[in-house]
Structure 1
């Protein structure tokens, strides 16, 4: 399962993409970026 959300900070609005293993509910991948382009979701 995956999700993209933005974080409110005093220095802008970074986006956080997270991939979660549904069986173990553990985060298996993540990336933080200053944009929400397709490359953010496609990163392994």
Structure 2
């Protein structure tokens, strides 16, 4: 394997890791903790909060 091929593979791996880490951070920032609030009507369908 040539030196440029090995370095290209390492660079691609670091870029993939950076995109994965960015997706993790964005996902954690968008995640809401806790149970969604419901009104007093027990017969109502669950609320989906998107």
Name the TM tier (shorter chain).
Answer: under 0.3
- Higher strand content, 1 or 2: 1
TM-score under structure 2 length normalisation: 0.20
- Higher helix content, 1 or 2: 2
Higher RCO (CA-CA < 8 Å; seq separation 6+): 1
TM-score under structure 1 length normalisation: 0.20
